[in-house]
Amino acid sequence: MQCIDAVVAGAGIWGCTVARRLAEAGKRVLVVDRRPVVGGNVRCETDAETGIEIHLYGSHIFHTHIPEVWDFVNRFVKFNGYQHKVLARYRGKTYFLPLGLALLNKFFGVELTPGEVAEFMKDEAHSSAVFDAFFRGYTSKQWGRAPEEIDPSIIKRVPVRSNYDTNYFNDYNQGIPLTGYNSLFDRLLDHPSISVKLSCELRLDAGVFKIGGDVLPAVPVYYSGPLDALFGYRFGHLPWRSLRFETEWMDVPDYQGTSVVNYTEAEVPYTRIHEFKHYHPENRSVMEARRTVVMREYPCDWKPGDEPYYPIDCEESRALLARYREAAAGVSGLVVGGRLGGYRYFDMDRSVEAALTLPL
C-alpha cells in the first residue's frame, strides 16, 4: 500500500468533498469505492444516441441556500440555472406542486387570492381533500406505510405557499452541472494528492481496516457506506426503503413536457416518471432529439443486496442506529458521514455542508 495519510471509503458527494478538503490540507488521500465508478447515487450516464444525461438512481437537482456550499461546488462545475418544477397527476388531471394557488384553484375550481388561502385551508373538508389527493397515496407508496406512521418532517419537505410560485424548492441557488454530474466528481477528485481505487470494499476485520487483503496503516478512515455493513450486520439490518427503476426510450421528442410528474394515486404502482432531457434546456441538440428517455420509479422494501435509498426513521431503527453509532465511536480513527453512513435523509447540499464543516 502506497504512503497515505487518510482513507475515504465511499466516493459519493460527502466522501469526494472530504477527500478534496483533505488533499487541499496537504494530506495524501486514498479514495475507495465498491462500485467501478465514482459519484455514488448521483451517478449519471449519457445516452449515446440522444445525448440525454440519465440519472441512474433517480433525479438529482442541486439546490441550496447555503452560500459556502454553493461557492464550493461552483469551484468545480458551473450550473445551468435549471429551476425545478414538479407536477402531480391525479385522476387524469395534472397540477403544479407544491401546495399553492395554482394547485388549489385548479383542484377546487375556485379563484383564491393569497390572503384567502389560510382561511380556506382551515376548513377540514378542504385540507383533507388536498391531503388525500396529493399526499396520502403517494406517501403510502413511497414509504410502504400510512402517512400517519411516518415522521411529519418528511412530508414537510414539500413547501406550502399561498402564492403562484411553483418552484419545488425554496432554495434560490439551483441547477444541474452544465458538464454533467459525473464531471463534478471527476474534478473533485482531480488532485495530485488523491488516488482512487474502484471495485474494492473497505472491511473492518476484528478492529483492523482492510482493503482487499491489505491491512491499512493506522490513518483516519472517512466512511460513507452503510454503517451496519461495516460491522457485518452484527446487531441486525438497519431498515431502508429501496427503489426500482424502469427506463424506457420513447419515439417522441417530448413525452410529458417536464422533468418530473408525480402520480399521487395509490392505484398507480409507481410514484413518479422522470424525463431527463428537461434538465438541460440549454442543450438544443438534446432538447430537439427525436427520442426521449423516461424512467418510472417504483418504491419497494429493502432486502440485503438491494440499494439502500431512504432511511426509515422509527423506534426500532433509532435503537439499532444508536448501537451501531456506539460501536463506530469505539473504532479509533473512524469518521462516519453521508446519507448512508449517517443514516440520514440528506439532500446533496447537506452532505456537502457536513463534509465542509467536519473537523479534520
The residues that touch ligand UDP, with contacts defined as CB under 6 A, are 88, 97, 134-135, 138-139, 142, 154-155, 157-158, 262, 264
Question: Would you say 156 or 303 has its CB closer to ligand UDP?
Answer: 156
Question: Would you say 97 or 352 has its CB closer to ligand UDP?
Answer: 97
Question: Catalytic: 244?
Answer: no
Which of 347, 349, 350, 353 is an active site residue?
347
Q: How far apart are CA 267 and CA 255, in angstroms?
A: 22
Question: Catalytic: 161?
Answer: yes
Which of 33, 171, 297, 349 is an active site residue?
297
Question: Would you say 14 or 134 has its CB closer to ligand UDP?
Answer: 134
Which value, to the nearest 10 degrees, does the dihedral of the CA atoms of residues 305, 344, 157, 298 take? 0
Which runs of consecutive H residues, i.e. helices, occur in the chain?
Answer: 13-24, 67-74, 101-108, 117-122, 124-131, 137-143, 152-155, 181-188, 227-230, 284-287, 315-329, 338-342, 348-357
Which of 20, 43, 136, 272 is an active site residue?
272
Q: How far apart are CA 269 and CA 299, in angstroms?
A: 9
Question: Catalytic: 272?
Answer: yes
Question: Would you say 29 or 347 has its CB closer to ligand UDP?
Answer: 347
- Find the shortest distance in angstroms from Cβ 356 to ligand UDP: 22
- Find the shortest distance in angstroms from Cβ 260 to ligand UDP: 8
Question: Catalytic: 284?
Answer: no
Question: Would you say 20 or 141 has its CB closer to ligand UDP?
Answer: 141
Which of 157, 234, 244, 318 is an active site residue?
157
- Find the shortest distance in angstroms from Cβ 88 to ligand UDP: 5
- Find the shortest distance in angstroms from Cβ 274 to ligand UDP: 10
- Find the shortest distance in angstroms from Cβ 264 to ligand UDP: 5
Which of 20, 43, 136, 161 is an active site residue?
161
3-state secondary structure the chain: CCCCCEEEECCCHHHHHHHHHHHHCCCCEEEECCCCCCCHHHCEEECCCCCCEEECCCCCCEEECCHHHHHHHHCCCCECCCCCCEEEEECCEEEECCECHHHHHHHHCCCCCHHHHHHHHHCHHHHHHHHHHHHHHHHHHHHCCCHHHCCHHHHCCCCECCCCCCCCCCCCEEECECCCHHHHHHHHCCCCCEEEECCCCEEEECCEEEECCEECCCCCEEECCCHHHHCCCCCCCCCEEEEEEEEEEECCCCCCCCCEEEECCCCCCCCEEEEHHHHCCCCHHHHCCCCEEEEEEEEEECCCCCCCCEECCCHHHHHHHHHHHHHHHCCCCEEECHHHHHCCCCCHHHHHHHHHHCCC
Question: Catalytic: 347?
Answer: yes
- Find the shortest distance in angstroms from Cβ 167 to ligand UDP: 13
- Find the shortest distance in angstroms from Cβ 139 to ligand UDP: 4
Question: Catalytic: 34?
Answer: no
Question: Would you say 56 or 158 has its CB closer to ligand UDP?
Answer: 158
Question: Would you say 135 or 235 has its CB closer to ligand UDP?
Answer: 135
Which of 21, 241, 339, 350 is an active site residue?
241
Which of 57, 270, 298, 345 is an active site residue?
345
Question: Catalytic: 318?
Answer: no
CA 265 to chain centre: 23
Catalytic residues: 157, 161, 241, 272, 297, 345, 347
